[in-house]
Amino acid sequence: MDTASTRGKRLARKPAAKTSGRNAAAPVLGPSKLAQVRLRSDEVEALQEVMRTLHLDSTSDALREGLRLLAREAAEVGATEEIRAFYQGQAAPLPEGVAEPSEAELAAADETQW
């Protein structure tokens, strides 16, 4: 059925948005929110060095990567807190077949540099 109201709706559609050359190949990630951050000059230099080292194309890419790493660390901290709460402050049991480390092994591990 082709009524005047349905024809009007079809004609009222907005044309497809034009993409800029810069973001034409970027995946559509859904709604986004603008966030601003004030950085000191040393933080800007560190950010630029990180971008060069990791071959990140934009400040947004670098900040997204930083947030991804923070989210992962927060998840690890949360898991650690859950384990501690589950074992109520006691040490978690070692898996079967794993011996308790000696004081010398613990000291050697503490001195290890990565």
Annotate 72-84 with DSSP letters as a single string.
HHHHHHHHHHHHH
Task: Answer whether residue 50 is part of any domain.
Answer: yes
Its domain, for residue 84, covers 38-90
Residue type, 42: D
Task: Answer whether residue 46 is part of any domain.
Answer: yes
Whether pLDDT at 35 is above 80: yes
Task: Answer whether residue 105 is part of any domain.
Answer: no
| pLDDT value of residue 82 | 94
Q: How many domains does the chain have?
A: 1
Higher pLDDT, 113 or 56: 56
**Can you tell me the mean pLDDT for 6-32?**
55
How far the first Cα of the chain sits from its last, in Å, is: 72
Task: Answer whether residue 69 is part of any domain.
Answer: yes
Task: Answer whether residue 16 is part of any domain.
Answer: no
Confidence of residue 43 (pLDDT cuts 50, 70, 90): very high
Reading the block at residue 22, the tokens are: 């810069």
**Can you tell me the mean pLDDT for 78-102?**
92
DSSP run (H or E) holding 24: none
Confidence of residue 22 (pLDDT cuts 50, 70, 90): very low
C-beta separation of 62 from 50 below 8 A? yes
Task: Answer whether residue 4 is part of any domain.
Answer: no
| pLDDT value of residue 32 | 86
Task: Answer whether residue 85 is part of any domain.
Answer: yes
The per-residue pLDDT of the chain, averaged, comes to 83
Task: Answer whether residue 107 is part of any domain.
Answer: no
**Can you tell me the mean pLDDT for 67-85?**
95
Whether pLDDT at 29 is above 80: no
Say if pTM beats, i.e. exceeds, 0.85: no
